[in-house]
Copies of this chain bind each other. A is one copy, B any other.
Amino acid sequence: MTPSAPSTQPRRSDTTRAAILRAARERFAADGYERATIRAIAADAQIDPSMVMRYYGSKEGLFAAAAEFDLRLPDLTSVPPARLGEVLVRHFLARWEGDETLVALLRAASTNPGAAERMRGIFADQLTAAVATFGGDPALTARRAGLVASQILGLAFTRYIVRLPPMVDTPPDDLVSWIAPTLQRYLTGTPPG
| Residues on A facing B (Cβ under 8 Å) | 31-35, 106-107, 109-111, 116, 119-120, 123-124, 142-143, 145-147, 149-155, 157-159, 161-167, 170, 174, 177-179, 181-182, 185-186, 191-193
**How far, in angstroms, from A152 to B182 measured CA to CA in the complex?**
13
CB-contact partner of A149 in B153, B164, B193, under 8 A: B164
Main secondary structure of the interface of A (DSSP, over half): helix
With both chains docked as a complex, state the minimum distance between the C-beta of A17 and any C-beta of chain B, in angstroms.
26
A163 and B120 within 8 A (CB): yes
15 interchain pairs (CB within 8 A)?
A31-B111, A32-B111, A34-B34, A106-B110, A109-B110, A109-B161, A116-B161, A143-B166, A146-B170, A151-B154, A153-B162, A154-B154, A177-B193, A178-B191, A181-B192
**How far, in angstroms, from A73 to B109 measured CA to CA in the complex?**
28
Given A119-B162, A150-B151, are A110 and B32 also a contact pair (CB < 8 Å)? yes
Residues of B within 8 A of A151 (CB): 150-151, 154, 182
